[in-house]
Amino acid sequence: MAKMVHSCIRVLDDAKSIAWYKAAFDLDVADQLDFETFRLTYLSNARTGFELELTVNKERTAPYDLGDGYGHLAVVVDSADAHHAAMSQQGLEVGDLVDFAPGGTLVARFFFATDPDGYKIEVIQRGGRFV
């Protein structure tokens, strides 16, 4: 049986991204591997064994083209409202809170936050299938 362990995103400034993910989701550096042309930083916290890998290609100066797909990371929080307010107070870019209720049944309460490289992170309130 396979176990998912991390997902990678490419960033221009890992120090800036590390600070953002710490402020947004209390993720800390679990490990960092520095090579001649690139650096890998693994972020995690005590609530999950899953890690976010930040990859810096040292000679790159232009932002990455994120494309027109709708790939994203998602995190679960106890209260979408409280997390939205906290992120807003820190000056982090957040979208509107959304109640996703097709057919009148609430499936999820969520919002999207945008990290320093333009990646969209879905922040979902804990409940239902999102525990």
Q: Does residue 7 sit in the same domain as residue 55?
A: yes
The DSSP letter of residue 10 is E
Q: What is the CA radius of gyration of the chain?
A: 16
**106-131 tens-digit pLDDT:** 999 999 999 999 999 999 999 988 98
* Per-residue model confidence (pLDDT) at position 90: 97
Q: Does residue 51 sit in the same domain as residue 77?
A: no
The DSSP letter of residue 36 is S
* Per-residue model confidence (pLDDT) at position 69: 84
Structural domain boundaries enclosing 46: 1-59
* Per-residue model confidence (pLDDT) at position 37: 97
**27-64 tens-digit pLDDT:** 999 999 999 999 999 999 998 889 999 999 999 999 99
Q: Does residue 83 sit in the same domain as residue 123?
A: yes
Q: Give the helix/strand (H/E) hosting 22.
A: helix 14-25
| Cβ count near 11 (within 10 Å) | 26
Please give the model's pTM, rounded to 2 decimal places: 0.92
The enclosing domain of 40 has a CATH number of: 3.10.180.10
Residue 122: active-site member = yes
